[in-house]
Amino acid sequence: MIEAPICQNILDLPGSRIRVVSRASADIPDLIKLWFGEGDEPTPEFVRRGAAEALARGETFYAANRGIAPLLDAIAGYLNRAYGVSVPHERMVVTASGMNAIMITVQCLVEPGDSAVVIGPIWPNGRAAMKAMGGEVRDVFLRAQEDGRWKLDLDELFAACDETTRLIMINSPGNPTGWVASEAELKAILDFCRERGIWILSDEVYGRIIYNGARHAPSYYTLAQPEDPVVIINSFSKSWSMTGWRLGWIVAPPRLCTAVEKMTEFNISHPTTFVQWGGVAAMNEGDSYIEGLVERYRRAADLVYQALAPLPRVRLAKPEGAFYAFFALDGMTDSVEFCKELARKARVGLAPGIAFGPAGEGRIRLCYAASLPKLSEAMERLVPHLR
């Protein structure tokens, strides 16, 4: 029998190194799990109630590819309150998670032989989406400064682009670095892409989680014009504690949204109907919840920084946004094996830096979205093993 082939692009994709560590540590008792990007409190009651009431009403049928109209209205209202922008329905598509938004956007923009320039270290799934479509990924890595903060070299970014480049992917606030792009940097990238016909894929799922007192991080919501080559990806997972719900959205020019709508039909038809009603509740009732969540994360960031920054082997800057400590550890050369060892010895689960690209090796990511008591216990366990 001749073996039927599988797409080589897919076979060549690396598995998640975070899950390599989590699977190896699955049987460790009393493990504090800080490796995935989520908190430990359930979705707020008002969101769960919105979905439950939709189920009780029988909202279990097919819906429009772009999402139900009440959710599109609710997203538009949220963007107007939070960012001061007016976004019509024709510039929005509801998706089954932020990752689904990235994947179907890349399906619309990247063909074999195209290149995508990715600013890293970055969550690995975005890079994988480019490779799955046969695209070449060109990494441009943020540079860690003397104080541990991260800096983007715009000249290096622009030099990585050529006639094959279809998009630049930027994640700000960044996972895992906590880096936040300045408004000037975003404008410079936009001007460059306007001139060359290159798309910007802007992952802004942490856009509200910022610690300088601003309502939101610098954003293409406020900088891009409706026809600019900008796709803004967002998700309900982080700011509304809805990781398991798998719900997100895209804002893009109408012509791209038409293509994304088509690919939504071919991929999933539409996001789960009653889940979208949970999203309506999140948008309409969640403003104060986000404010409380950010304040809690601010205290958590301080707790982790005060515990780890004084250690002589650790190099760590306070994150500007998101909810991760991405710290370098002197003398550590294999972050996967070290995280496995930490799980066994300290009973704390962390993510290996190599999971976020080669520039992440020598570092470890700690998600501090957990409750403060749990984080305090995790620090007590970790510190002796990081000295």
Q: Determine contact, residues 83/140, Cβ cutoff 8 Å.
A: no
* C-alpha to C-alpha distances, 210 to 178, 179, 214, 219, 257, nearest whole angstrom: 9, 10, 7, 12, 28
147 and 36 in a common domain: no
128 and 265 in a common domain: yes
Q: pLDDT per residue over 322-354, tens digit each?
A: 999 999 999 999 999 999 999 999 999 999 999
Coil, strand or helix: which one is 210?
Answer: strand
Structural domain boundaries, residue 296: 8-43+288-386
pLDDT at residue number 172 = 98
pLDDT at residue number 148 = 78
166 and 66 in a common domain: yes
CATH number, domain with residue 225: 3.40.640.10
292 and 145 in a common domain: no
Spans in the chain with pLDDT lower than 70: none
Q: How many CB atoms lie within 10 A of CB 357?
A: 19
Of 222, 255, 286, the residue at which a domain comes to its end is 286
Of 262, 286, 310, the residue at which a domain comes to its end is 286
Residue 2 lies in a domain: no
Number of domains in the chain: 2
**Closest to 47 measured CA to CA, from 286, 371, 288, 296:** 286
> How much is the pTM?
0.95
pLDDT at residue number 42 = 95
pLDDT at residue number 239 = 97
pLDDT at residue number 313 = 95
CA end-to-end distance (rounded Å), the chain: 58
Q: Determine contact, residues 87/220, Cβ cutoff 8 Å.
A: no
